[in-house]
Amino acid sequence: MVVYILYSNSIQQFYAGSSADFDNRLIRHNAGRSKSTKKGIPWHVVRIIHCKSRSEAVIPEIKIKKRGIQRWLLDNMSEFRENREISYLNLYCILNASRRRGKVVGSNLAKRFHDR
């Protein structure tokens, strides 16, 4: 079971969900077979959180959606960098979405990820 976060460049939005079969689920998202994501094709993986069970996966999924996907990502970026789980492309997507919504993320955030 995984909790995942996707990003669409075409509509500049994030999507969070969970699935026992992530590969198949991602194919369905990108084939337009999911009502909530068909307008944002193609979707790119930003983050995957592995969980042991559905009941365990519900906790981070609710936290992410309640906090707001973008805010949750920004709050947890240092963790991603330590684990080397976030690429510069993913960082660009997050910062670009912040700017699009009129939020100034600040250069300190970008500097933290530039110093590898």
DSSP 45: E
In degrees rounded to 5, what are phi and psi of residue 41? -60, 135
- In the chain, the domains with their CATH numbers are 2-114 (3.40.1440)
Residue 47 confidence (pLDDT): 87
Tell me the C-alpha distance between 75 and 15, whole Å: 17
In degrees rounded to 5, what are phi and psi of residue 47? -155, 140
What is the chain's pLDDT, residue by residue, as a tens digit (116 residues)?
999 999 888 888 899 999 999 999 999 999 999 999 999 999 988 889 999 999 999 999 999 999 999 888 888 876 666 555 555 556 666 666 655 555 444 444 444 444 44
Which residues neighbour 83 within 8 Å (Cβ) at sequence distance 6 or greater? none
pTM as predicted:
0.74
Is residue 67 within 8 A of residue 32, CB to CB? The reply is no
Residue 21 confidence (pLDDT): 96
Tell me the C-alpha distance between 74 and 105, whole Å: 9
